Amino acid sequence: MAVEEISKIRADLAKLVDRNNRLSEKAAREFALKKGIDIKDAIELKGDLKLINELYRFIDKYTSIQKNKSIPSNVKFEKINANGVPAEWIITPNAKNKQIIFYLYSGGFMWGSLETRRFIPYLLGRATKLRCLNIGYRLAPEHPFPAALEDSVNAYKWLLSTGINSNNIIIAGSSAGGGLSIATMLKLRDLGFQLPTAAVLLSPWVDLTCEGESLKTNAKFSPFGPILVKIMAKTYLNKEKSTNPFASPVFANLKGLPPLLIQAGSIEILLDDSISLASKAKSAGVSVDLEIWKGMIHVFHNFGDDLSDSKNALKNISKFIQKNII
């Protein structure tokens, strides 16, 4: 996000965005020095796609490690094998054993790992006093569609096989993980499995045609622009059609899905995805709570306790889960 655009958003958010930008720039400089390249070309998405992907994965890992340092030492992390899918229990103090949050993380289907995506499931677990199962699904370009979906479905089947009842499972996801959460439920529905009791979707990416108007109108408020979004969609889809409902759930028949809570920022680049998903779900008879947080950007929950809106959004998530858990 450019400096001139930061000045146009709320002061407390602008300060946090600037802090993140500085950290990302530091990571980019370290990557450029290590590789002996002109970092400007890579950041502007020019040249070798493989190198660009390597750069953004480096930045993602670098910044996430810094963020994870704020997670208290009394939070437990337990790696497991969930039916061939790497996963990790994230257990906050006083977490209940009966109910589970099944979490699918962000990263445009290209970035992220169990280690770099601990922060939001930690926040969710702390707010709800539930255990979180963080799913390490495979990423593109090494593993394009439908690898991520296969992994999430297999991990969910494993969870059921442990004796956890679907009525005690909340599925949650942010950005790409939000779209994957919907796709996972659609596949489970079609296979005849019991669905989670509810879903929490943070700035979900559900339309890989990349035709939402907010991709253009809100691009100035995002650290990633329409070009990068389209690159991520193309990379994940590989040769699959962008309207495949298991890749772009906004084109699916959503009948039979459990209650949804969708949270998005009013100035985020994927705002139209959330609005379209809510509309499509309501038309299919699904109970939907759509919260559009004024002046907030994509997955603003990442700011945790440093941002009042993040804290309040997490409180709303806890209330939603308490209302829907059986």
- List the catalytic residues: 175, 268, 298
Find the DSSP H helices in 146-202: 147-161, 176-191
Q: What is the dihedral of CA 289, 290, 296, 299, to 10 degrees?
A: 70
Taking the C-alpha atoms of residue 94 and residue 91, their distance in angstroms, rounded to an integer, is: 8
Q: What is the DSSP letter of 24?
A: H
Exposed, middle or buried: residue 253 (CB in 10 Å: 0-12, 13-18, 19+)?
middle
First to last CA, the chain: 42
- Concatenated DSSP letters for 270-308? THHHHHHHHHHHHHTT--EEEEEETT--TTGGGGGGGSH
Our CA angle for 266, 270, 111, nearest 5°, is 130
Residues 136/86, Cβ–Cβ less than 8 Å: yes
> Which amino acid makes up residue 28?
A
